[in-house]
Each structure stands twice: as C-alpha cells, then as structure tokens.
Amino acid sequence: MPYSKDYHLTKNAKPAIRAYLGGSFDPVHNGHLQMALYVYQSLLPIAEQQQHELQVSLLPNARSPFKADSTDPKHRLAMLKLAIKNTPLQINELELWQTPPVYTIDSVKTLRARYPHDDLIFIMGMDSAQSLDKWRNGLALTDHVNLWVFNRLSIGENDPIINNNDENTIAQEKLINQDLVTSNLTALQSQLPIALQHFITDSATDLVAPALKSLTASSNLKNAAQGRIYIDPRPVAAISSTQVRQQLRKQGSQNATLQPINAIINPTVPNSFAKWLNPAVYQYIIDHQLYSAAQFR
C-alpha cells in the first residue's frame, strides 16, 4: 500500500482536522511549504482547544490534466519526504499512483467518504481559486470540503522569500502592513467565481465549525452545512515549480555550474535556489540529474 500517514481510519479514531495542499510538486519548493505551514500554525491552537488531531498533508498528483508530462512520481515523492523532514507536515499519496488524468473533485469525494466526520480543508492559491469554474466540477468542491485560499504575490529571482523552517517566521508575519492587507481583502474576494463568493468567511475558525460535525457517511456539505471559503490575507510568494525548472534549464543552457550544497545554505552567497528550495531537495536534483541538471554538473 502506498505510503500515506493519514490513510487509515478506525471506528474509534480521534476526530481530526485534515488540510491538504495539492499540486505536482515538480519540484516541491519553499512557497509550497510556506502555505502548508501557515495553515498548520493557524489550526494548531484550534485543534488543541477542541482536542482534535491535526494533519496538514501535501497531496501530490499523478499528473495535472493541464500538463503534458511530469517527473517520475518516485522522484517527486522522494523530494517531498526530504522537504518535510523536521516539520509537522505529512504526505498523502491518494492521487500519486493513479492513472492520469486525476481530478480534484474525485479526490475530495474520496476523502469525504473516507473521513465523514472530520473537518476537511483544501489549500490553494488565489490563482487556482480564480479558475475553479474551469476545473472539472470545480465549483462543487465546497459540496465536500472547505477551502483555504492564499494570495500569492509575484516574486522575482532576486526577491526574498520567507523561510518556513526559520524560527523567525511568526515574527516576520507581524511585520506585514495590516492596513494594506485589510484593504486588499475585498479585492481578493471579488476575484473568486461569483457562484462561490457568498461562501466566503472572514475567520479560519469557521472552517472547523461545530455545525460541520453532523456529517454522515452518506451526506456531504451541501446536505448539512455548505463548505466555507477562507481567504488568508497573508501574502505568500508566488514562486512556481515551472519557474524553478526554467531557472535550472537556463543555467544548463549557459553551461553554468550549480553551486554546491554548502553554498546555498550559506546566506552570504547569492543563489536563487537558496530561497526557492530546501537544500536537501536541491542536492537530490543534482544527484539524480533532474531538470537537465546533468548539463551543469
């Protein structure tokens, strides 16, 4: 059976809050970890208060229906395991070994059937949330799960990114201009498909409201309490896996040499990969000659 820490469910299992961040993770980067860890840090006090288990999982897909190809799942899974080491995050392999295309709506139905009494949350960037009306039955996601949506700001190669493994993360969050965040929230809400805008809530706590506990194995959120959508006002860097791959290939085409692992963990050495990738993931890419890395070894 594929590795998945949150796969099993027993009759006497402790109620849980389960949040999932899906994606190709090709490769996994610090922007992914930033969103997932934000959610974990926000939900942990709620879970402790309710005495519920908390699981925040990365949900790698087999292959996006919008992409022609992707890296071998075994490599993407290996990089994920390296990236989440020493974090509270988990991995769920529900989609990874399925024959593509695999659609999110089918996954949320499976998870809802598997965990009928738990709070289920799907995490995504605003860029994805904006296009839900173009996904297969994307507007029906809230029939089964709640959504936690992040505003992903553009980031350039030389722009900084918050390191989620840094103990100063929470302190850095407090430096965000709250007035600017508040003024932008209304604009962010208007970017969602109109059919979903009336499900927006202003509190993450509403995603784990007691009303949602009445779900049964044969019901969904539409029958009990319609799923809610929380737009997190904290900006996260909009670095993409595509951007990382392009940068790797760019260096290869220029016959450049990737800096060794000790260089990217040295903050005094300029290197875009230092803020984009976990050092262990970076080393894995080199060792396994991924993304044309063999060209610049």
Helix 73-84 × helix 30-50 angle, to 10°: 60
Tens-place pLDDT, residues 171-221: 344 444 444 455 467 777 888 999 999 899 989 999 986 544 444 443 444
Complete edge-to-edge strand list for the sheet that includes strand 53-60: 90-91, 53-60, 16-23, 119-125, 146-153, 229-237, 200-201
Tens-place pLDDT, residues 252-291: 555 555 666 665 556 555 566 777 899 999 999 988 888 8
Q: CB–CB of 120/55 below 8 Å?
A: no
Q: CB–CB of 119/16 below 8 Å?
A: yes
Residue 55: closest CA among 3, 4, 104, 128: 4
At residue 40, the pLDDT reads 98
| Across 55-59, 104-108, 229-233, 256-260, least confident range | 256-260
**Averaged confidence pLDDT in the chain:** 78
By the 10 Å C-beta count (0-12 exposed, 13-18 middle, 19+ buried), 253 is classed as exposed
Q: CB–CB of 22/105 below 8 Å?
A: no
| Share above pLDDT 90 across residues of the chain, in percent, rounded to a whole number | 47
- Whether the pLDDT of residue 113 is over 80: the answer is yes
CA distance 88 to 68: 32
CA distance 119 to 89: 17
**219 or 129, which is more confident?**
129
- Whether the pLDDT of residue 158 is over 80: the answer is no
* Predicted TM-score of the model (pTM): 0.80
Dig out the tokens for 250 from the structure.
């760019």
3-state DSSP call for residue 246?
helix
Position 77, amino acid: L
At residue 273, the pLDDT reads 74
A 10 A CB-CB count for 102 gives: 18
At residue 256, the pLDDT reads 55
At residue 101, the pLDDT reads 84
Reduced to 3 DSSP states, what percent helix, strand and coil does the chain have, rounded to the nearest 5? 40, 15, 45
